[in-house]
Each structure stands twice: as structure tokens, then as C-alpha cells.
Amino acid sequence: MNKNKNMSYKSRYYSFVYAISGLKLLLAEPNVKIHFLATVVVIIAGYLKHLSSNQWIAISLAISIVWITEALNTCTEKLCDFACDNQIHPSIKIIKDIAAGAVLIAALTSCAIAVIIFFIQ
């Protein structure tokens, strides 16, 4: 039983190591640098405006959704590029465009939430 517990802890440890490695790779992507800058600006603006707890929850969820969609979009693009040996394929273009569209939806929704919180309320 102890051996299984040790393997379980080791496996969980490596899960975190791999996840952190994935975040580092994600941060190296050009579009993610824009998301990072936007995230920092919104957090600083929120701090300066003394947002309420509910406003911070909305901002945090909006930021998270953009980051999650960008990560999934990056995975989709890398997988498609790998599957097609970086060759242009009409079906793969559709898949990549839809994934990028998901990021755009998330980003626009986040901007709308920011406008409501920072300028309308």
C-alpha cells in the first residue's frame, strides 16, 4: 500500500511539473504576451479603482476564460500543424480559424465586462 501511495505522490508531483512547463511554453507564444500585458493592466486598474469582491470575481473569470481559450487555441494550432507537417490544408484552416474565433469571443466578452465595471458602474 505504501508503494502505491509513493507512486501516487510522485505522479501528482510530476503532473504539476508538466503543467508548469506547459505554462512556460504558453507564455512564450506571441499572442499570449498581449494577454499577459492586458491582464497586468486590468489588475493594476482594478487595484487603483478599489473594485468590490463581486467585480474582482467577474474580472478574474473574464481573464481566466481568455487565458483558457488561448491555451486551448495554441494546443489546437500546434496539433494541427503537427498533423499536417506545417502544410496548408483547407479543413485544418477551418479548425484553426474556429479555435482562434473562440479566443476572439472570449477577449471581446472580457472587454465588455471591463467596460461595464470600469466605466459604467
* pLDDT tens string 52-110: 999 999 999 999 999 999 999 999 999 999 999 988 899 999 999 999 999 999 999 99
What is the value of pTM for the model shown? Answer: 0.87
Query: What is the residue range of 109's domain?
Result: 31-120
C-alpha–C-alpha distance, residues 48 and 59, integer Å: 14
70 is catalytic: yes
Q: Closest Cα partner for 114 from 35, 58, 32? A: 58
C-alpha–C-alpha distance, residues 39 and 59, integer Å: 10
Residue 7, in any domain of the structure: no
Residue 43, φ and ψ in degrees, nearest 5:
-65, -45
Residue 8, in any domain of the structure: no
Residue 101, in any domain of the structure: yes
pLDDT digits (tens, 9 = 90+) for 8-40: 888 889 999 999 999 999 999 998 999 999 999
Residue 79, in any domain of the structure: yes
Q: Which residue has the higher pLDDT, 44 or 3?
A: 44
The catalytic residue among 70, 73, 74, 110 is 70
Q: What is the CATH number of the domain that holds 63?
A: 1.10.287
- Give the chain's domain count: 1
